[in-house]
Structure 1
Amino acid sequence: MIKKMGYQWLLRRLMAEREMYQTSDLVPLLAERGITLSREQVYRLVTQPPQRLSMDTFVALCDILQCTPNDLIKPEVVNAVLRKTADGTPAAVPLPDRRTVIRRPGQP
């Protein structure tokens, strides 16, 4: 089975921890580092996990927030089913492969 990976984008949380509550607060800080993004682009960057992000922008965000890339992105497995263990903690279990069954009218 192929392990499907995803990630959590933690930019909004890091901004809040640094008392930056307006997405537009990032626009001039990025511009100081040579990154020109519109207010709308910055809003999307903060509120939605980006599918593509230039390394220049990524490094600028790390500099602005004084963090590492690991602080901004948390990798996670997205195709696992969570099942609780005997002690109540969640345990990741891969999704089972299921075969598709096509039934025609009149067939059991």
Structure 2
Amino acid sequence: MQWSLRLRAAERGIWKSAQLRRMLADAGLEISAGKMSSWWAGTPPTMRLEELDVLCTVLECTPNDLMTPEPDRVAARRVRDADTVNGNGNGDDKPNGGGTGPAVSPRFGKPRSTPPL
């Protein structure tokens, strides 16, 4: 998804995240400065529907105005994920796709110890 919060805010004459944060608070949505920063600076990893509803009300827009699907990125991810599953992640033959962490192996036949009595 392409996140267009700053563009929509600019269309409403809102140029600073602090100004939008105050408007959201006036509409009943108190958010932290850190959360506002993540919304303003880039695509938020998560957003509650209630937050999206208030944001759209304040900006007089719809969720479609704030988010634009990017199907090409989804298709690219699908290909990359399929390569990783097939063992073709990055051309390395190292465990975990060449990552720095140790490989995780299952604990078959090794039950967890019981707690002390």
In which range does the TM-score fall when normalised by the shorter chain?
Answer: 0.5 to 0.7
State the partner residue of 2:19: 25
Cα distance between partner residues in 2 of 1:31 and 1:23: 12
Contact 1:27 1:37 in 2 (8 A): yes
Greater relative contact order structure (CA < 8 Å, 6+ sep): 1
Partner in structure 1 of residue 46 of structure 2: 52
Any stretches of 5+ residues in structure 1 without a counterpart? 1-6, 82-93, 104-108
Q: Provide the aligned length of Structure 1 versus Structure 2.
A: 85
> Based on CA coordinates, which of the two structures has the bigger radius of gyration?
2
CA deviations over 1:47-80 (Å, ceiling 9, x no partner): 1211111111101110111001110111112144
Percent of aligned positions with the same letter in both sequences? 29
- In structure 2, the gaps of 5 or more residues are 94-117
Amino acid paired to 2:13:
E
4+ runs of 1 displaced by more than 4 Å? 94-99
**Displacement of 1:102 after TM fit?**
7.5
TM-score when normalising by structure 1:
0.65
**Are the structure 2 counterparts of residues 102 and 27 from structure 1 closer, same or farther at C-alpha, using a change threshold of 3 Å?**
closer
